[in-house]
Structure 1
């Protein structure tokens, strides 16, 4: 992979935030499970979304890609019935959402499934589904440490007990699948539910496509069987997890207007707004966009990252420049993302001069006055670490070299185009020189 040398420079201008990856996954899945033709507008073809598109094609949906929208003929349409492969391979690439959403969905349809992928995807636990397979006598096999999961057998309706402190993707996967079964089902959450925002996104998308779920205070979900996903003209809203990078850039002295954000969004990563306000900034709505107006000093705070894990890397950058001690708690799940993000955040920001103590499921950050730069840092081949380090360059005293920058294609392929359009200054760097 490639390396960039990025020179310290504040960003200035207007950036249209790419569409929400979380909502795009959900929109594509709901449309593909329908029995008509849907149009999904404002879509960006990141690696993860391409994985979900191809996964739904594997199940029989006809999906036509245009520049920034999709036409999707649902699996249950007459013209798709003949497309269903009874011995299918679903390549999830490095997308955890694709994997965990599609495992139960694939078991709604006749045939055998094989799930493959790359990177750390094989290390992400799937025990929740294995327990369901054991209970329902669905055949399965897998390889430890590598994604090569095979399943055979149909998912049956009934009662499903799931812990609330596991990934919400397991719950969403079942929510997508269960309305298509012949009988009614219930999902019972046995502990406090984390990442409620992601469940809200799933329920919202399903509701938009005509599926009714009863949510009893996130303690149980009642799912009526024999429901049908309707065809819809659906627009994907802007992504708060990507907006977070430019909101933090503003917090640290840049002047970027961020457009296409829904201020009433259900996205859990909208929490970035509240976090930055606690750090002593003002959020201003200007010309149909959002920008951060920093006050004289950034303040330390306590941040619970359980509902917004994806913004924690760039929030850690902001915390590194806050006066005092910031604690970021309940973020143990960051260890099983594309990399061990707690370790990566600590390692790479420390190279720049930050003072961070890494705990098992938290970070303790003592603010410093400035970041030095003048060093080589590594993305750990994780898109959110690469983008965080790019924003860090704007407040460094010297240039930095980022190794393996191209991993941003996983969620935000045009990140460096946007970064450059805002005045970011970088060039390719050969580490062998």
Structure 2
């Protein structure tokens, strides 16, 4: 098990934000579904993106990787219109996006395929797809509701009812696959759609690769059949869900400039800017960078329905901000890589935070400082990185166990932390 020990310090300097994981998934898949060659620049090879590339290659797509930086690659992707499985078993590692995107994609043609995974992914819910399988008589077997999942059949065009409060990943998976079916389809959203920002990213990427989807105010999505993805060159912008760690770190303990961010981005996690502004953070936005400096932050109400991935680090900010912050509509955090509401509550309490877990949110009474101590990442990259930010406001050292889980999305996080002046030691317990 890998561990890190972080001593209290202030972080200063510039950090280049890793490319958006959400956009990287979508660009790689769209390029793979296209005929011809696409060039996708600025892709970080985190474990999740490796999983998606492996899935594309298993479907017969050729991906040439050209290293351009520290774990950053340009991909030459030669797509194929008719998939021919190179292997019948696909490992999605711990990537929920990969699994939920590729289930419909693998069924564009008649296939027998098994999906495997690791960690919490094995038990993450797939009920929205099981309902479709049963309606369309697609045969499937699983391990008492868990992976491995074996599917035999093909997806048919038609009407699809998808719950809006479970995961937008089901919607995105269908949006990738349905344009390639012979007939027209419609996705009808049952209830209120959460994480609209992720659907916006999907629609934008599809449009860039010449796929047309009509969005009826997020109630229904109309998809023509017999469409064709057209190859395109694309550069992935910086990831606001990763920038959130440094934006909070600057606000509570330093002076940090985040580079390669698009202030006009469609990313839902860009909402971090509005939230930390409300909390009185010192934020400056320039052409291609966003800066935060040490400030006396205050309480607010945070709605987690549209930006679940940044809630753990915002809980850290709230724990050292004046007054009582309430986080609401965040129940979906319970079905992420960990139960993130329980995980962040448990670990911040160990550091001395005053935090109470509710059914779908948190109540946090801020303190000027936290104490420090030994905490666990719960094998969840966003919990580990959030606890690293919390260490900046502790009076004593913080030891984070199972720290290598950051490789899932941000393999160079500890290196960037150190470059900004963080006092950090890493070791392996064996």
TM-score w.r.t. the length of structure 1 is 0.96
Q: Residue deviations 1:289-322, cap 9 Å, x none?
A: 1112454x31111100010000001000000011
Partner in structure 1 of residue 417 of structure 2: 419
Q: Residue deviations 1:174-223, cap 9 Å, x none?
A: 00000000000011112111110000000001001110000000010010
Q: Residue deviations 1:347-393, cap 9 Å, x none?
A: 111111100000111100011111111x1111011000111111111
Q: Aligned ranges for residues 365-404 of structure 1 at < 5 Å?
A: 365-373=364-372, 375-404=373-402
Partner in structure 2 of residue 5 of structure 1: 5
Distance 1:342 1:85 in 2: 39
Question: Residues 6 and 87 from structure 1, CA distance in 2 versus in 1: closer, same or farther, beyond 3 angstroms?
Answer: closer
Distance 2:126 2:111 in 1: 20
Q: Residue deviations 1:50-84, cap 9 Å, x none?
A: 000001111111111111110111122xxxx6x71
Distance 1:180 1:149 in 2: 23
1:410 aligns with 2:424: no
Number of matched pairs: 425
Partner in structure 2 of residue 29 of structure 1: 29
Distance 1:360 1:12 in 2: 37
Q: Aligned ranges for residues 19-418 of structure 1 at < 5 Å?
A: 19-67=19-67, 68-76=73-81, 84-85=84-85, 88-144=88-144, 146-286=146-286, 288-295=288-295, 297-373=296-372, 375-418=373-416
Give the secondary structure class of the aligned counterpart of 2:393: coil
Q: Residue deviations 1:383-421, cap 9 Å, x none?
A: 001111111111111111110100000000011111111
Question: Residues 148 and 324 from structure 1, CA distance in 2 versus in 1: closer, same or farther, beyond 3 angstroms?
Answer: same
Deviation at 1:430, TM superposition (A): 6.4
The answer on whether the counterparts of 1:33 and 1:75 sit within 8 Å (CA) in structure 2 is yes
The answer on whether the counterparts of 2:8 and 2:394 sit within 8 Å (CA) in structure 1 is yes
Give the secondary structure class of the aligned counterpart of 1:151: strand
Point out 4+ residue stretches in structure 1 off by more than 4 angstroms: 429-432
Distance 1:87 1:419 in 2: 40
- More displaced 10-residue stretch of structure 1: 212-221 or 274-283: 274-283
Question: Residues 87 and 417 from structure 1, CA distance in 2 versus in 1: closer, same or farther, beyond 3 angstroms?
Answer: closer
Distance 1:129 1:145 in 2: 12
Distance 1:388 1:289 in 2: 21
Distance 1:409 1:87 in 2: 26
Question: Residues 4 and 87 from structure 1, CA distance in 2 versus in 1: closer, same or farther, beyond 3 angstroms?
Answer: closer
The answer on whether the counterparts of 1:87 and 1:111 sit within 8 Å (CA) in structure 2 is no
Question: Residues 388 and 86 from structure 1, CA distance in 2 versus in 1: closer, same or farther, beyond 3 angstroms?
Answer: closer
The answer on whether the counterparts of 2:297 and 2:321 sit within 8 Å (CA) in structure 1 is yes
